[in-house]
Each structure stands twice: as structure tokens, then as C-alpha cells.
Amino acid sequence: MMSVPTTFRVIDLRVSIGVDAIIRGISMDFFANTVTSIMGPSGCGKTTFIRCMNRLHELVPSIQVSGDIVLFNQNIFSVNPMLIRRQVGMVFQRPNPFPTMSIFENVVAGYRLNGIRLAKSESSQIVETSLLKAGLWHEVKDSLHRKGAFLSGGQQQRLCIARALAMDPSVLLLDEPTSALDPKSTSHIEDLIAELKESVSIIMVTHNIGQASRVSDYTAFFLAGELVEYGTTQKLFTVPDDPRTEEYLSRKFG
């Protein structure tokens, strides 16, 4: 397990909003070119946890965080969050392409919005590779300059994945990426996740145990703001160490 290089190292992370402790001291490492799932019942802190990793939690005004998160030997709390967010892509529960932009503009939005000028050939290249990686290129290549409203939910979500991939992130955070999608789109995205780990490390929050077991190499189980168990997916699903994990899995599958 230790032979693989790490991406994120989380050290004793504690998060509270007002008097409510959301995360109560979690430490864990994430590994490069793998898919790691974080699962747990709703309210276990998994979404808050993943939002800390690109410091998007700071949008909540009264949130309190202690502990450290290190990305490639760089403490993310000691640099400007914008620099971290450009290295770490994120995809949200509901597809959120920018409605005022065309498909093309959406894919290069990370550059355009950051004020990074690209040559025309360069941006076309980025759009094509990103959409190819996201498995959307063949469906939209003839309507790149239309607004994305006509796309299905699954297509929109893949557009959001392409938008994140266009920035060439080292880590991709997925926050329940299929929770708003139909089963067919879901399986499409799950296949995509498996392909993507060649080029990017993926950390995915899911409430769906089946999904965790299908796509991830490692799985972490959160309960009430604590990390109950973390290990290879195969081990966690077949011979869990902790009785709470076993109980959760059996209840969910039962």
C-alpha cells in the first residue's frame, strides 16, 4: 500500500460549524493514479471533507477548520486557495455547466475565467482532448459553439468533467457525481472514471455502495465525522476489520 506515491495527505482534520463538529479528527493518505471512494451515510461529513481538499469549504462563513492537508508536500492552507483549485479539479452533485457559455467556452472556462490567453489552435486542441477524455467529443463535435442547454443531464455532467480535465489537474474530486443522473448515464460515467485514473487521481464521494465497489481501488468508510475504516476496496468489502463497516455494508446490501 505504501509503495504508490501519495497525492493528498490529510493530517488530523477537524471541522466544525458553530458548535456542531462535522469532522472529528481524520488522518488519511490518498494515492496517485487510483480511484478512492469515500462512502458513508448522509451527514457523515464526506461532502464537507472533500470540499476541504480544494478549500471550497471556506464559502461557509462560520466554518472552523484545524489540522492540515498536504498536497505534494505543499500545505494547502498556507498558499492562495486559487492555486490549489487550479491543480485540483472538482465535479459536483448536479451538473453545472455555465449557461451563458457555449460548449467550447465551457471546456476552456478554467483558462478564460482565470484570464489565461490561449492561442486559437491551442484552445481547440484542449477542447478536443478534454472532450475525448470525457467521452463526449463524438456527441458534440458538430455543435461546439452552441450553448449546452440541449444536452442531457449525463452529457452535461461529462461536459463538467471535461471542463475540470481541461485544466490538466493532478487530482479530480467528484462529489456524488451521479446522484442526479439516470442509471444509463451513471454507468457511462462510472466507465469513464475507470478510464480516467490512468492520467489523474480520483477521489470520489458516493452514497452508493455498489458504485464504490465497482469503480474504486481504495474505499474509506466515514461515520459521524470519523474515519472508521480505509483500505483496498476488495478487502473492505470482503473482510472488513471494523464491525461498524460490516454492519453498514450488510444493511445497505441486505
Applying CB under 8 A, the residues found at the interface with another protein are 54, 56, 59, 61, 82-87, 89-90, 92, 94, 96-100, 109-110, 112-115, 160, 163-164, 167
Closer CB to another protein, residue 56 or residue 209?
56
Cell of 125: 486542441
CA 56 to chain CA centroid, nearest Å: 12
CA dihedral 11, 16, 19, 25 (to 10 degrees): -20
Burial class (CB in 10 A: 0-12, 13-18, 19+), 178: buried
CA 170 to chain CA centroid, nearest Å: 11
User: Least separation, in Å, of the C-beta of 224 and another protein?
Assistant: 25
User: Least separation, in Å, of the C-beta of 244 and another protein?
Assistant: 32
Closer CB to another protein, residue 18 or residue 61?
61
If residue 124 lies in a helix (H) or strand (E), which one and from where to where?
A: helix 120-133
CA distance 43 to 196: 29
Closer CB to another protein, residue 156 or residue 219?
156
Closer CB to another protein, residue 90 or residue 192?
90
CA distance 202 to 186: 16
CA distance 109 to 103: 10
Q: Is 96 helix (H, G, I), strand (E, B) or coil?
A: coil
User: Least separation, in Å, of the C-beta of 72 and another protein?
Assistant: 16
CA distance 193 to 177: 10
CA distance 146 to 137: 14
Closer CB to another protein, residue 18 or residue 115?
115
Closer CB to another protein, residue 168 or residue 226?
168
